[in-house]
Amino acid sequence: MEFIQSYEEWQLKINEHESVLLFVKTNNCSVCDGLLPQVEALEENNSLPFYMLNVSEVPEMAGQLSLFTAPVVLLYHQGKEYARFARFVRMKDLQYRLQELIGGSEHRD
């Protein structure tokens, strides 16, 4: 996962790729630390790029993305938010939404 360092960088990434995943964490978050390896494991089997944001290091992103808790997993498609999973993320739901995006984009290529 590549780290996002600014809102401007994030805007470039979501416009550069058809679909992307953003994992949002904060410092001293045990739920974030527990979820991160599970989300990272999904990256191997998915063609869309995965990014990570530590909102403690880029606090302006919390306001820009309406982030009120952590962790948050955001899926974007065609520059717009497609799905949001916050705090306690059900991995089956996340996998299902990833499959929707991958299945949809494979038919367009």
- Flag whether pLDDT at 74 surpasses 70: yes
How many domains does the chain fold into? 1
Which residue type does 95 have? Q
Query: What CATH number does the domain containing 35 carry?
Result: 3.40.30.10
Q: Which two tokens stand for residue 65?
A: 């993305």
| pLDDT at res. 106 | 42
Q: Would you say residue 101 has pLDDT above 90?
A: no
Tell whether the model's pLDDT for residue 71 goes beyond 80.
yes
Per the CB < 8 A criterion, the answer to whether 31 and 88 are in contact is yes
Q: Report d(CA 10, CA 52) in Å as an integer.
A: 10
Domain extent, residue 64, equals 2-106
Query: What is the reported pLDDT for 104?
Result: 57
Q: How far apart (Å, rounded) are the C-alpha atoms in residues 80 and 69?
A: 20
For range 64-91, the mean pLDDT: 93
Q: Would you say residue 103 has pLDDT above 90?
A: no
- Average per-residue pLDDT in the chain? 91
Q: Are strands 19-25 and 2-3 parallel, antiparallel or unpaired?
A: unpaired
Q: What is the pLDDT of residues 33-66, one digit of tens each?
A: 999 999 999 998 888 999 999 999 999 999 999 9
Separation between Cα atoms, residue 94 and residue 86, nearest integer Å:
11
CB neighbourhood size of 15 (10 A): 12
